[in-house]
Amino acid sequence: MSVISRGFSGRRRSDDGRLPPGQYLERGFPILQATPTPAVDTRTWQFTITTEDGATARRWDWNEFKALPSERLTKDIHCVTKWTKLDTDWRGVSCDVLLDGVDTSAGYVMARSYGGYTTNLPLADLRGGRAWVAYEYDGAPLLPDHGGPARLLVPHLYFWKSAKWVTGFDLMTGDKHGFWEELGYHDYGDPWREQRYQGD
């Protein structure tokens, strides 16, 4: 932090405007999950993309996935339980790379995970440099409790959309509920519009 980043309130200016409504600043990295951490072996790991007709359009094993072009990025993340963590540091493969050339007219995606977790998103939100399949955190392999070996990272939506232990995307013509959405969480989940629950 530079000296000029201190505003008159004494708060770091870099935090100003970065907390969505109803969120508080978290300095640790909480672990939140509906099921125990699954054992995911990179020797059998795979990531697949299926299109709306059920066909498998893309498949990578771990070595193929790690050979894809990756990016290191710094993002703020926002959990619906009201914590926000600033400047989290990741490496991952952009979903633009994963979806490149996939022939589809689907509007939605179900992300699915080892262990059975699912979450739905508009396909457009995985495009445009806004979503990654991340496999490093703070310069080290992503820990299993945080979704390692690889998790979805969609920082512009509440963090439940960032499926840990992700194993692929199923492209869908219409929207469907994933795990938390079926239990009442919002279909889209924009933290800046406080879309926590269905109807928000």
Pick the piece of the chain touching ligand MTE (CB under 6 A) from 1-9, 89-97, 112-120, 186-194: 112-120
Nearer to ligand MTE, 34 or 124 (CB): 34
Structure token pair of residue 82: 């009201």
CA 150/CA 70 separation, integer angstroms:
13
CA angle, 80 then 82 then 88, to 5°: 85
Nearest to 147 by CA among 176, 172, 171, 111: 111
3-state secondary structure of 133: strand
Compute the least distance from the CB of residue 3 to Mo ion, in Å: 35
Compute the least distance from the CB of residue 134 to ligand MTE, in Å: 10
32-71 mask for ligand MTE (x: CB under 6 A)? xxx-------------------------------------
CA 186/CA 192 separation, integer angstroms:
13
CA 148/CA 38 separation, integer angstroms:
10
In sequence order, the β-bridge partners of residue 112 are 118, 168
Residue from 91, 164, 186, 196 binding ligand MTE (CB under 6 A):
164
Segment 75-104, which members bind ligand MTE (CB under 6 A)? Answer: 79
* Closest residue to ligand MTE, based on beta-carbon distance: 117
| Residue 160 in contact with ligand MTE, rule: CB under 6 A | yes
114-133 mask for ligand MTE (x: CB under 6 A)? -x-x----------------
Structure token pair of residue 190: 């924009």
Nearer to ligand MTE, 62 or 104 (CB): 62
Pick the piece of the chain touching ligand MTE (CB under 6 A) from 31-39, 45-53, 95-103, 120-128: 31-39
| Residue 22 in contact with ligand MTE, rule: CB under 6 A | no
CA 188/CA 200 separation, integer angstroms:
10
Q: Which amino acid type is present at position 197?
A: Y
Pick the piece of the chain touching ligand MTE (CB under 6 A) from 40-48, 53-61, 95-103, 110-118: 110-118
The half-sphere exposure of 112 on its side-chain side, counting CA atoms within 13 A, is 13
CA 131/CA 139 separation, integer angstroms:
18
**Residues interacting with ligand MTE, by CB under 6 A?**
29-34, 79, 113, 115, 117, 146-147, 159-160, 162-165
